[in-house]
Structure formats: structure tokens, C-alpha cells
């Protein structure tokens, strides 16, 4: 692991940044980092040889005034054979583990003991559902550590790509096709993901969060998600009334209140860390701005602007944040 460490230290203090590919938190990611280290070493060896010879030749064989013509060597068959076979052997060294890891990590079939998460990539947000477990959420989801998670990828609009760098592996969301990727996350924590296939105006704004929890915490989360929307009572009554009486219900589901399916499910919106698919922290101020004018904050977003007053926007935001 010396090489990735060297690479990360060369990369500056952000080596443990939230999207870093050099931190492995799943079986796939660890396999990948090992292979990456191997290839990096091989590359360094080749680079040292090439640059060494190049540098030496440029210094040693300079033209001097009055120098005669050099010997007009045309070639040297054995040397050429050697430097054809040499690289071929190095490539073999890379190819064998590559093929092994490919067959370990690129299988599309679902392992029998895996937790299935259906991922639907929309322009520009992520829908996550757990078939058979009656959980639907958006832009943030939880999985248990130490168990295979089978991500089944679907899309109703354009190509997207599902990528959590610290889990390794990346798989496109291809409308009309069922792609899948299986990983075993091994370390509890919060991880970032981002769409990795250009999908239009707000491609840059299509992030998500995945929380890896202990099995016990995961079960708790599942139970909370299955429950209908929390009713925080009088404190958010104004906001709730606004929500239920306006266009929100046409696009968003809050279980027990509304059934719209064009936009993200908001039943437990308050429990999420971010808003707008990773764009802003999920807090009152940014949320109030968002409900008033999402298009200004996220280019191309399908959610329109609304003519709420400041007070109305804050009430609505308070209500949404109460939906834990």
C-alpha cells in the first residue's frame, strides 16, 4: 500500500477527501487498490527506464563542433525482440490479476444473501428503494456493513452512472437495461457518491450520500423509514398546511399526506444530511431558499420557483425538516 500512500501524499492534504478513490471501504475497493498499486509500480519502473535513457542520451550524445557522423546503425534484432518480450511479460503480470478481479467484481447476477437496493437515476436526483422492505427514499440511503449489497440500476430518462469512490466500481444507469453492481461495504461511516455520466444541465449537481451502519443501526433505520410521516404537531402546522394545499403534492410523496412521484420521496426528508442531491446542507436557511427558487440554485431542475413569502418559505422548510 506504499504506492497509494505516496500518491496521496503527493496529492496534497485532501487525500482523505470525501470522493477519494484512494480510500477503500469495501471488498471491491480493496481489490482495486491492490491492482492499482501493482500497475503503478510497473508504470514507475517503465517510466524510470524511459526517462533515464532519454535524459542520458540527450546529455551524452550531444553534437560537438567538428564531430564526425555517428555510426549509421540500422537496428539490432535481438535488442528489439527483447524490448518486445519484456513489456509483454510486464503486461502479462498486469493482465492475470486484472482478469481475476474482473470476474470477481463485474458479475451482474445477484448473490443469494445480498441486500437489494434499486437505484433509479433521474435528471438530477437519485431514487433508492428496497424491494420487499417497503422503503423508498431519495439522495441518501443506508446499508449495513459486512453484507453484500446488490445495486440494481434503472433509469426513466437518460444515461447516468452510479459511483461511490470508496466502495470502488462504477456502473452506468442505462434506461432500458438492467445493470447491477455488488459490493460488500465493510466500515461504518458516511460516504459520498456522484453521477459519473454526463446527463445534462445539472450533472454536476447529482450527488448522493450512503451511510454504512452496523446491522442493528440499519434495522432501526429501516423501521423508521417504513413508518409514515412524523407529525410534529402545532409547531409545523402552518408549513404542513402549505405543503398539503399547494403544488408540492403533485410531485412529492409524504406518506400519509401526498402521493406525487415525479420528484424525490420526502416522507423522511428531515433525516437527510443534504438537500438537492448533495448540493446544500439540509438546514432551514438553504431549504427556505430552495423552496422559493430551486431553478436559481440548480440549473435546469424540474422543480419550479414558487412565489412564497419569506415567512411561508420558512414555515414550509420547518415542516419538511420535521419529517425525520
Partner 1 sequence: MSATRVDALPHAPAHAVGGVRGWLTTVDHKRIGILYGVSSFAFLLIGGLEALIIRAQLAQPNLGLVSAEFYNALFTMHGTTMVFLAIMPLNAAFFNYMVPLMIGARDVAFPRLNALSFWVFLAGGLFLNASFLFRTPPDVGWFGYANLTLRPFTPSPSVDFWNISLQLLGLSSIIAGVNFIATILNMRAPGMTLMRMPLFVWMTLIVQFLVVFAFPPITVGLIFLAFDRFFGTHFYNVAAGGDLHLWQHLFWIFGHPEVYILILPAFGIVSEVIPTFARKPLFGAPVMIYSGILIAFYGFGVWGHHMFAAGMGPVADAAFAIATMLIAIPTGVKIFNWLATLWGGTIRITTAFRFAAGLIGLFTIGGLSGIMHSSPPVDLQQHDTYFVVAHMHYVLIGGSLFGIFAGLHYWWPKMTGRLLDERLGRLYFWVMFVGFNVTFFPQHFLGALGMPRRIYTYSAETGWALWSLVSTIGAFILGVGVALFAVNALRSFRHGTLAPADPWDGRTLEWRTSSPPPPHDFDEIPPVYSRDTFWREKYGDRHGTKPVPRPPQPEAHGIHMPDPSVWPIVAAAGMLAAAFGALLQVALLVAGVAVTVVALFAFALEHHRNPAHADQVGELGVDHRKLAMWVFLGSECFFFGTLIATYLAYKGRSVVGPTPEEILNIPLTTLSTFDLLMSSLLMVLALAAAQRGDRRQTRLWLGGTIVFGVIFLGFQAYEFIEFAHEGLGLRTNLFGSTFFVLTGFHGAHVAVGVTWLATLLVLDLRGKLDVADAPKIEIAGLYWHFVDVVWIAIFTLVYLVP
Question: What angle do the packed helices 2-10 and 27-60 form, to 10 degrees?
Answer: 70
N-terminal to C-terminal alpha carbon distance within the chain: 41
Of residues 169-188, those binding partner 1 (CB under 8 A): 169-172, 174-177, 179-180
Please tell me whether residue 41 binds partner 1 under the rule CB under 8 A.
no
133-137 CB contacts, 8 Å cutoff, 24+ apart? 133/222, 133/226, 134/226, 135/222, 135/225, 135/226, 136/253, 136/265, 136/267, 137/225, 137/264, 137/265, 137/267, 137/268, 137/272
Of residues 131-160, those binding partner 1 (CB under 8 A): 157-159
List the one residue from 5, 6, 41, 106 that touches partner 1 (CB under 8 A): 106
Give the C-alpha separation, 183 to 105, whole Å. Answer: 8
Of residues 17-36, those binding partner 1 (CB under 8 A): 17-22, 28, 31-32, 35-36
* Pattern 242-261, partner 1, x by CB under 8 A: --------------------
Of residues 68-97, those binding partner 1 (CB under 8 A): 68-76, 79-80, 83-84, 87-88, 91, 94-95
Give the three cell numbers for residue 75: 537496428
Least separation in angstroms between residue 193's CB and partner 1 is: 10
Nearer to partner 1 (CB atom), residue 171 or residue 252: 171
Please tell me whether residue 102 binds partner 1 under the rule CB under 8 A.
yes
Please tell me whether residue 203 binds partner 1 under the rule CB under 8 A.
yes
Within a 10 A sphere around the Cβ of 163, how many other Cβ atoms?
21
Give the C-alpha separation, 183 to 163, whole Å. Answer: 12
Give the three cell numbers for residue 263: 420528484
Nearer to partner 1 (CB atom), residue 10 or residue 216: 10
Number of residues that bind partner 1 (CB under 8 A): 95
Nearer to partner 1 (CB atom), residue 159 or residue 251: 159
Binding window for partner 1 (CB under 8 A); candidates: 38-46, 141-149, 229-237, 263-271: 38-46
Binding window for partner 1 (CB under 8 A); candidates: 189-197, 208-216, 244-252, 265-273: 189-197
Give the three cell numbers for residue 76: 539490432
Give the three cell numbers for residue 316: 414550509
Of residues 255-314, those binding partner 1 (CB under 8 A): 299-300
Amino acid at each position: 500500500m506504499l504506492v497509494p500512500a505516496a500518491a496521496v501524499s503527493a496529492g496534497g492534504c485532501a487525500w482523505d477527501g470525501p470522493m477519494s478513490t484512494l480510500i477503500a471501504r469495501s471488498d471491491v475497493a480493496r481489490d482495486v487498490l491492490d491492482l492499482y498499486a501493482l500497475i503503478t509500480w510497473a508504470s514507475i519502473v517503465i517510466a524510470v527506464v524511459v526517462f533515464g535513457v532519454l535524459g542520458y542520451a540527450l546529455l551524452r550524445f550531444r553534437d560537438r563542433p567538428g564531430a564526425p557522423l555517428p555510426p549509421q546503425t540500422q537496428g539490432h534484432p535481438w535488442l528489439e525482440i527483447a524490448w518486445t518480450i519484456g513489456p509483454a511479460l510486464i503486461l502479462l503480470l498486469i493482465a492475470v490479476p486484472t482478469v481475476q478481479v474482473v470476474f470477481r467484481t463485474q458479475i451482474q447476477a445477484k448473490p443469494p444473501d445480498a441486500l437489494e437496493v434499486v437505484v433509479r437515476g433521474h435528471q438530477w436526483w437519485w431514487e433508492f428503494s428496497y424491494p420487499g422492505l417497503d422503503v423508498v427514499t431519495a439522495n441518501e440511503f443506508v446499508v449495513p456493513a459486512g453484507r453484500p449489497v446488490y445495486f440494481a440500476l434503472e433509469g426513466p430518462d437518460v444515461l447516468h452512472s452510479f459511483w461511490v469512490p470508496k466502495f470502488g466500481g462504477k456502473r452506468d444507469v442505462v434506461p432500458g437495461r438492467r445493470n447491477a453492481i455488488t459490493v460488500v461495504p465493510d466500515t461504518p461511516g458516511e460516504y459520498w457518491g456522484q453521477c459519473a455520466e454526463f446527463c445534462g444541465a445539472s450533472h454536476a449537481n447529482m450527488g448522493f450520500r450512503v451511510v454504512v451502519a452496523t446491522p442493528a443501526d440499519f434495522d432501526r433505520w429501516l423501521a423508521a423509514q417504513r413508518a409514515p410521516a412524523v407529525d410534529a404537531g402545532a409547531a409545523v402546522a402552518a408549513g404542513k398546511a402549505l405543503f398539503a394545499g399547494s403544488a408540492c403534492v403533485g410531485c412529492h410523496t409524504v406518506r400519509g399526506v401526498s402521493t406525487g412521484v415525479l420528484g424525490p420521496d420526502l416522507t423522511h426528508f428531515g433525516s437527510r444530511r443534504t438537500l438537492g442531491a448533495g448540493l446544500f446542507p439540509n438546514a432551514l436557511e438553504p431549504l427556505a431558499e430552495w423552496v422559493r427558487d430551486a431553478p436559481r440554485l440548480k440549473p435546469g431542475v424540474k422543480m419550479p420557483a414558487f412565489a412564497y413569502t419569506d415567512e411561508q418559505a420558512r414555515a414550509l422548510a420547518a415542516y419538511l425538516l420535521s419529517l425525520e
